[in-house]
Chains A and B, each alone.
Chain A
């Protein structure tokens, strides 16, 4: 999330976002700030805080291109990329209108062949990075798949571990090897106002206040001014 705020301050433009397999607050902030040209995702939602207001507004005003997908299709597309094969078959989605919009998905009998997605950049926040350049994501294995499938991988992290986590039998299964990692940045509480499992929870009050504020363009701008553009107020209050 800290990187998202930095992208907004840097006035990033024309980003294409891929939800793995959905998007949330990060995408809504980037969309509202005008950083995004296109999203491919199974959904954009703020969870218990409801609809993602800037996403909804941008789509209704036709200022954002959306490639609608469904969760397992995105997982398949990334798995195809990590295996270096052109597509992955998926069953069960034949009755959906998604097939009418996704001409790149090929129907073959009861199966749909989903082409590989090879993102330019995978970007996420992790609990640990170590001196050997590995990062630990635990059971959030979709992040590992996204990393394996992407050309570049940038990770912000909570805490630095000494040594090499791949030499620790307990930690190793949750590690993404440095083979895939392009760069890391030490960013304590970098997920805020979202949570980091096992370390801190989501700031529900802040997210619901955002959901309310961002219903209007002005409210969203005030949010950016207060929480993204103002120095010292741009990160966790704790």
Chain B
């Protein structure tokens, strides 16, 4: 890695994946997707982000159901989902695996089905999290991409399979093959994920860090030493 935090690289990749989107919603406990969205908002004036987890304010006035009502009408283009397990068929599991209980499916079962561009995000990249087949399908849909702490995959609709798009700085294509539990396609030469540009880093460390600090104080302290 270069002179930037891994969280900053991931936020930049997310901001680039939002190209052409008008409105992204970010669920609870998702500081990196939130940072990617706020970064996008800083250079794309037509872009709107609705953060579900706000401490002081809230984009909704009809209670927590309004997010789902908006999505059901097609007013949300992008949503982020993760999981204790993610499989090669794009299914996610937030309920139970290997005898362990996880929090539960939240709104995933619905959002994956109704939001056109779902970005799968899980920082841990291991055979434990990226599995051939999830033990419980919280949700299944058509993902736009899968981003991990090591690599970016795109989704091939026709084959219903992931394709390795790029590996993050310091990671090799072989390491991805070794640490991924599902099979996927890959080009002969796998490109590296472009690192954050100086202007992206400036935005992240200024306005984005401030905005994130209001809602994810622990995360902001860890990454930017601020809150």
B224: min CB distance to chain A, Å: 16
A43: min CB distance to chain B, Å: 3
- CB-CB under 8 A for A142 and B138, given A42-B105, A71-B106: no
Of the listed stretches B40-48, B52-60, B124-132, B144-152, name the one at the interface; the rest are far from the partner chain.
B52-60
**B169: A residues at CB distance < 8 A:** none
Interface string of B97-118 (1 = CB under 8 A from A): 0011111111111111110000
Q: Does A134 contact B (CB under 8 A)?
A: no
A32-78 contacts to B (CB < 8 Å): 41-45, 47-48, 51-52, 55-56, 59-60, 66, 68-73, 75
Q: How large is the interface on A (under 10, 10 to 19, 20 to 34, 35 or more residues)?
A: 35 or more
A47 to B219, CA, bound (A): 12
Q: Is the CB of B104 within 8 A of A22?
A: yes
A140: min CB distance to chain B, Å: 6
Among A22, A91, A145, contact of B65 (Cβ-Cβ < 8 Å)? A145
**A79: B residues at CB distance < 8 A:** 65
**B219: A residues at CB distance < 8 A:** 48
**A45: B residues at CB distance < 8 A:** 28-29, 103-104
Interface string of A97-141 (1 = CB under 8 A from B): 110000000000000000000000000000000000000000111
Residue of B nearest to A21 (CB): B64
Q: Is the CB of A144 within 8 A of B63?
A: yes
**A175: B residues at CB distance < 8 A:** none
**A195: B residues at CB distance < 8 A:** 55
Q: Is the CB of B104 within 8 A of A42?
A: yes
A229 to B64, CA, bound (A): 33
**B96: A residues at CB distance < 8 A:** 59
Q: Is the CB of A75 within 8 A of B29?
A: no
Number of CB contacts from chain A to chain B under 8 A: 134
Most chain B beta-carbon contacts within 10 A, residue among A21, A42, A92: A92
Q: Is the CB of B105 within 8 A of A68?
A: yes
- CB-CB under 8 A for A43 and B137, given A91-B113, A93-B113, A201-B55: no
A140 to B64, CA, bound (A): 7
- CB-CB under 8 A for A91 and B29, given A70-B106, A98-B105, A141-B62: no
Residue of A nearest to B67 (CB): A71
Among B62, B99, B106, B114, contact of A22 (Cβ-Cβ < 8 Å)? B106
**A66: B residues at CB distance < 8 A:** 104
A66 to B218, CA, bound (A): 30
Most chain B beta-carbon contacts within 10 A, residue among A43, A73, A96: A96
A121 to B55, CA, bound (A): 27
Most chain B beta-carbon contacts within 10 A, residue among A48, A73, A140: A48
Q: Is the CB of B137 within 8 A of A97?
A: yes
A158-198 contacts to B (CB < 8 Å): 195, 197
- CB-CB under 8 A for A71 and B68, given A51-B102, A52-B103, A60-B100: yes
B3: min CB distance to chain A, Å: 27
Most chain A beta-carbon contacts within 10 A, residue among B29, B94, B218: B29
- CB-CB under 8 A for A142 and B72, given A45-B28, A201-B55: no
**B95: A residues at CB distance < 8 A:** 68
A32: min CB distance to chain B, Å: 14
Q: Does B216 contact A (CB under 8 A)?
A: yes
A195 to B105, CA, bound (A): 25
A57 to B58, CA, bound (A): 32
Q: Is the CB of B53 within 8 A of A47?
A: yes
Q: Does A238 contact B (CB under 8 A)?
A: no
Q: Is the CB of A72 within 8 A of B102?
A: no
Taking Cβ atoms with an 8 Å cutoff, the residues of A that contact B are 20-22, 41-45, 47-48, 51-52, 55-56, 59-60, 66, 68-73, 75, 79, 90-98, 139-145, 195, 197, 201-202, 204
User: What are some 10 contacts across the A-B interface (CB < 8 A)?
Assistant: A21-B107, A43-B105, A70-B106, A79-B65, A93-B113, A94-B113, A95-B113, A95-B137, A141-B62, A142-B65
Nearest first, the 10 A-B pairs at minimum CB distance are A141-B63, A43-B104, A92-B113, A142-B63, A96-B109, A75-B65, A71-B107, A72-B68, A70-B109, A95-B140
